[in-house]
Amino acid sequence: MPFNNLPEIIRNDKQQQFSIVYVLESEIYSQQSSNWDKTDFQMWYNLERSYPEPITYFNLSNYLEQLFSPVQISFSKKTTNAPIIWISSNW
Amino acid sequence: MSYIRIDSYGHCLNNIKSDGIKAHKQSNSVIYSSYKFVIAIENSNCEDYVTEKLVLALSSTSIPIIASRDGKPDYARFAPKYSYINVYDYKSIKELADYLNYLSSNETAYNEYLWFRQPPANKYTVLEFHLK
């Protein structure tokens, strides 16, 4: 869709179906991002307003076992190289 | 990175290499687990925009570092209280780094963020409580 022909998005409190995921998932440094990277998108993402079902990437209930699993590597066995890890992109 | 060491595996500010990560042979959560903290900040700050970044960090059983300003995103809807660190809770980057350095050298304080993983937790009851 041409960047200058995006549908107008008007926020209200009614449930509505969004096509905003495309915008959220596009990385500013990805190919073809030059068409929209300076556009000031109005963005919101509210599960209660989405229709016909909540728009999300995952169902949290599928991850209950992992989310509440015991600690995998204890404090004393953590790497001492750095306390923090950041993976901005695998590519 | 001036106040605290961060291993950055991605293209942005890259300072460490991993063939397993690059080739997707290894889940990010596996390597996350060997670190004390994981930067899990979303690309956008919207009310319910919480993605696999948080899930992978929590799954690794390390502590996620997130960014939520004025409740956007509202992480209280997705994760137990006191299970993550919000960068906006600190007045400056240095103050945040000082706190992370403190936690990374104090096992007792660090483990308080893992309270919901401690046995004999009735884990499903806890999750249900916090997600409601």
Q: Token pair 């293209």 is at which residue?
A: B11
Instruction: At B6, list the tokens.
Output: 């961060």
pLDDT at A67: 79
Distance CA B117, CA A68 (A): 6
ipTM of this predicted complex? 0.81
pLDDT of residue A66 exceeding 60, the answer is: yes
Contact across the interface for B117 and A68, Cβ inside 8 Å = yes
- Residue A82 identity (one-letter amino acid): A
Give the one of A64, A82, A89 whose C-beta lies nearest to B10's C-beta: A89
Instruction: At B104, list the tokens.
Output: 């990374």
Burial of B91 (0-12, 13-18, 19+ CB in 10 A): exposed
Q: Is B66 helix (H, G, I), strand (E, B) or coil?
A: strand
pLDDT above 90 as % of chain A: 16
Interface of B with A in 56-85 (CB under 8 A): 58-62, 65, 73, 78-79
- Quick check: B64 and B36 in contact, CB under 8 A? no
Please give the average per-residue pLDDT across A51-66, as a whole number.
66
Name which residue leads in pLDDT, A83 or A67: A83
∠ CA(B31), CA(B37), CA(B38), 5° rounding?
60
Q: Is B39 helix (H, G, I), strand (E, B) or coil?
A: strand
Interface of B with A in 1-20 (CB under 8 A): 4-13, 16
Distance CA B37, CA B65 (A): 7
Following DSSP, what letter does each residue of B48-62 receive, concatenated?
T---HHHHHHHHTTS
Which residues on chain A are in Cβ contact (under 8 Å) with B54? none
Which residues on chain B are in Cβ contact (under 8 Å) with A58? 51-52, 55
Residue of A nearest to B74 (CA): A46
Name which residue leads in pLDDT, B58 or A89: B58
Give the gap in angstroms from C-alpha B70 to the nearest C-alpha of chain A: 14
Prediction pTM value: 0.72
Q: Is B36 on the interface with A (CB under 8 A)?
A: yes
Which residues on chain A are in Cβ contact (under 8 Å) with B32? 85
- Quick check: B10 and A87 in contact, CB under 8 A? yes
Q: For the segment B96-121, what is each residue's pLDDT rounded down to a tens digit?
A: 999 999 999 999 999 999 998 876 55
- Quick check: A78 and B31 in contact, CB under 8 A? no
- Quick check: B87 and B42 in contact, CB under 8 A? no
Q: For the segment B47-106, what is each residue's pLDDT rounded down to a tens digit?
A: 777 888 888 899 999 999 999 998 888 888 888 899 999 999 999 999 999 999 999 999
Give the one of A45, A68, A85 whose C-beta lies nearest to B31's C-beta: A85
pLDDT of residue A12 exceeding 90, the answer is: no
Q: For the segment B13-49, what is each residue's pLDDT rounded down to a tens digit?
A: 888 887 766 656 567 888 999 999 999 998 877 777 7
- Quick check: B7 and B15 in contact, CB under 8 A? yes
Please give the average per-residue pLDDT across A22-39, as a whole number.
56
